[in-house]
Amino acid sequence: MKPTNDCFLRALKREKTDFTPVWLMRQAGRYLPEYCETRAKAGSFMGLAKNPDYATEVTLQPIDRYGIDAAILFSDILTVPDAMGLGLDFVPGQGPVFAKPVQSEEAVNNLYVPDPNEELQYVMDAVVSIRKALDNRVPLIGFSGSPFTLACYMVEGRGSRDFRMVKEMMFRRPDLFERVLDINAKAVTAYLNAQIAAGAQAVQIFDTWGGMLADGDFQRFSLKYMKQVLDGLIRENEGDVVPSIIFTKGGGEWLEDMAATGASAVGLDWSVNMSRARALIGEKVAIQGNMDPFALFGDEVAIRNAARRVMDAFGPVGTAGHVFNLGHGINQFTPIENVQILVDEVHSYSRQFH
């Protein structure tokens, strides 16, 4: 059954819409007091992510508060390597840490594709629960990290400023690194397909670290494996197309390459000129983005003007194929009332032209 508000899905299919749909990366997060309350009840981030009831609760919080046009499954990109047995923990002050980083040939050989309906059943349970709670108000987005981004954390064992060990493996043992990427691509494909089967109505691949690669290396080590995932995805479910979005932070150099992968939409970070992006790829795919998340720290006039600049740059406002979003995740210190200003402005300004 189609959502009552299916504007987001229609925009991804580059169909005409009544207004420009908006959702925000990391829209269920620490800037929301109700999220912090639920997380406190859960006891930890993974306690939140692995409990379908809590995951449902926080997924719906920004929908209920702001009237956003799409919900995104509350989870984490590192659930996949965690399901491979690498031992994920979120350490205060350090972030995600793996007990068993993948830093040897033996560790690579021990990697396997987890069964999403076994090791990741809690995610599928959350998808089913969220769809039921949404009651077809808006679509649900499923997601995963890209094979390359997952590999960055798996090899380093944690976040990093320069990902030295990743690049060392990439240049010294590209055969080994590509084995990791191939396993990750198979795992991400299975994971996203299971989310779709459980009820996700669109999916996004987050390539958070692809932008740190050189030209040529990006195509070889990141884009190739995102395309492998896209080629293996379920394209239709519940009688409708399941659109896909790829987002590479720092990927403005490769928009045409990204648009040629078969994705329905390409996400832009805030550094990309929207007008140029539209001219390059806007007739091939939908475009998602791309306001600077820190524009939400401005006053009301500044926020409204920033939103209009993005829509005008895509322009003419009212043209099909734009999903409004931030150029990266919403900051945890964002004033909650400013998000409502943004959502209202996107809806009201775009309705004049659609």
Residue 14 known to be catalytic = no
**Residue of 26, 158, 173, 220 marked active site:** 26
Rounded Cα distance between 24 and 72, Å, is: 9
Dihedrals φ, ψ of 244, to 5°? -130, 145
Rounded Cα distance between 59 and 26, Å, is: 10
Q: At a CB cut-off of 8 Å and minimum separation 6, what does 183 contact?
A: 111, 112, 113
Residue 26 known to be catalytic = yes
Confirm if 230 and 285 have CB atoms less than 8 A apart.
no
**Residue of 30, 137, 158, 220 marked active site:** 30
**Residue of 6, 10, 31, 39 marked active site:** 39
E strand segments, 160-269: 202-207, 236-237, 240-241, 244-248, 265-267
DSSP annotation string for 302-336: HHHHHHHHHHHHH-STT-SSEEEEESSPPPTT--H
Q: Is the preceding peptide bond at 21 cis, omega within 30 degrees of 0? A: no
Residue 76 known to be catalytic = yes
Rounded Cα distance between 301 and 315, Å, is: 20
**Residue of 6, 69, 76, 82 marked active site:** 76
Confirm if 73 and 59 have CB atoms less than 8 A apart.
yes
**Residue of 31, 35, 54, 153 marked active site:** 153
Rounded Cα distance between 193 and 301, Å, is: 42
Residue 153 known to be catalytic = yes
Rounded Cα distance between 12 and 197, Å, is: 19
Rounded Cα distance between 65 and 45, Å, is: 22
Q: Which residues are catalytic?
A: 26, 30, 39, 76, 153
